[in-house]
Structure 1
């Protein structure tokens, strides 16, 4: 008789069940940081079990005073695909988040080509946002077509940093790229002092543009560039500013830049970059359901 499946939060002693899954992911970072995720108040992992065997795993991370929850770390055992287990795993996670009164928004980010994941989020009534392109500038000597200029002025005051973010009227990205792979709504709840103090702000000479660069680790260390316009190549000194920050942080492997579809199309030559397939953010606002 086949054992019933069940979903529950993971505990420290579930590490062996996670390691026994056949996910096809080499050097899975979730296994490496499993203890940290389980102990954290900002992250939670859930497993879908059949008896003691874990068939799928996934969870969420909280941001902005728990206002925003991003689903992620979804893995399935390849021996049990096409059985709807990912959907069955996510349903109780969504109910759990919907029951948390402080959570207003639930998101999930996946690549355009990940059709199974996209179908899952569509089944769960998520809204699809425009695609974003994550490029890593790692061969700057190949840059061409950019407008040369001096490095933009660094702004250090946390009050001014917040004012710059609050003054933004048009955001071509449509989101706030909080971390690499983690686009969130552009919301003041995210602009806390600690985050701003750990971010380097640069403003151009005429004060019409600013760029934020924050060091981030996603397996490798990056200079994560947050720029909210599509005129990267037109703005004098933009790339000099980005590369100067990288020079000051030599342990970073490159400059991760989030581009909108139009910004991506504006790039004259992709050879300076490592290019990923575009990603799509799926959103679920609790007050709209």
Structure 2
């Protein structure tokens, strides 16, 4: 007899089923912040169940007043891998999101070499996007071959910030790195006054470049750097500027920088950084 599987949003009563999954992930943050996720207005978490057992878990986060939905937090029980459970879980979630009149884009961010996850996303008809490299500058004393210079001038006027952010819709990153791990399409819905006011903007002396640094927390606190060109090492004062922000926040573990594939190639020495595997963004507009 065929065993029926069903997908349902998770509630407090589902914590034991989540904890019973064998995901192979030690100290899984989804388990640690489970209550926060299911009680949030901007996050949703779902489980794939069969006979009361959770075979897979995943969900999405909403950004830009609900315009953008990023899939994530996908985990499968290792005892039932290679059975299509991830697709079985995510397909109805994606279908639901595209029926939502508020949602205009659905996407996901996964490691470039995670071919199993990429196959799932392609089955969901999400399109390949840019490859990004997430690096955390943790040892600035090891920086070499960069153009030194004075700290760039801080921009505090909200209207000036808006003018700067709107000037780089076509940029060399190909996305807007909204948060650590969450690159999104470059869209005005993300540039709320609140977001811009909490972001530190710095502009170089000839006004040809600017950088945004915003505090962000993903288990650890970071100075999250948003720079839209590939010439980090050729712009005098760039590194002095982001290190200036880090020094103002000594609790941060480092400067998280999103590099494009080309920008990553331009780094002369990776020793100052904590380097992750490259990521690929998938997405689809309605």
What is the total number of aligned residue pairs between the two structures?
A: 286
Counterpart mapping for 1:1-289 below 5 A:
1=1, 3-168=3-168, 170-286=170-286
CA distance in structure 1 between the partners assigned to 2:169 and 2:98 by the alignment: 30
How big is the shift at 1:170?
3.4
The Cα shift of 1:2 comes to: 5.3
TM value normalised by structure 2: 0.98
TM-score, with normalisation over the residues of structure 1? 0.97
Shift of 1:130: 2.1
SS at match of 2:110: strand
Tell me the secondary structure at the aligned position of residue 83 of structure 2. Answer: coil
Check whether the contact 2:48–2:55 (CA below 8 A) recurs between aligned residues: yes
Instruction: Give CA deviations for 1:236-271 in whole Å, capped at 9, x if unaligned.
Output: 000000111111101111111000111001111111
Q: Residues of 1 paired with 2:169 and 2:62: CA distance?
A: 26
Q: Residues 154-177 of structure 1: CA distance to partner in whole angstroms, max 9, x if unpaired? A: 111222211110122531000000
Cα distance in 2 between the residues matched to 1:19 and 1:214: 34
CA offsets, 1:263-283, max 9 Å, x none? 001111111111111000001
Q: Deviations over 1:211-241 (max 9, x none)?
A: 0011111111111100000010000000000
Q: CA deviation at 1:284?
A: 1.2
Over 3 Å counting, the alpha-carbon distance change for 1:169 and 1:6 in structure 2 is closer
Measure the CA separation in 2 of the matches of 1:259 and 1:200: 19
Tell me the alpha carbon deviations over residues 37-63 of structure 1, each in whole angstroms, 9 at most, x when there is no partner: 111111101100002110000000011
Divergent runs of 4+, >3 A = none
1:279 & 1:82 partners in 2: Cα distance? 22
CA distance in 2 between partners of 1:268 and 1:107 (Å):
32
Determine the C-alpha separation between the residues in 1 that align with 2:169 and 2:92: 37
Q: Alpha carbon RMSD of aligned pairs, Å?
A: 0.9
Unaligned runs of 5+ residues in structure 1 are none
For 2:55 and 2:99, locate their aligned partners in 1 and report how far apart those are by CA, in whole Å: 25
State how far apart, in whole Å, the 1-side matches of 2:158 and 2:22 are: 46
Q: State the alpha-carbon separation in 1 of the partners of residues 92 and 19 from structure 2.
A: 23
Maintained 8 Å contact 2:169/2:186:
no
Provide the C-alpha distance between the structure 2 equivalents of 1:131 and 1:166, rounded to a whole number of angstroms: 23
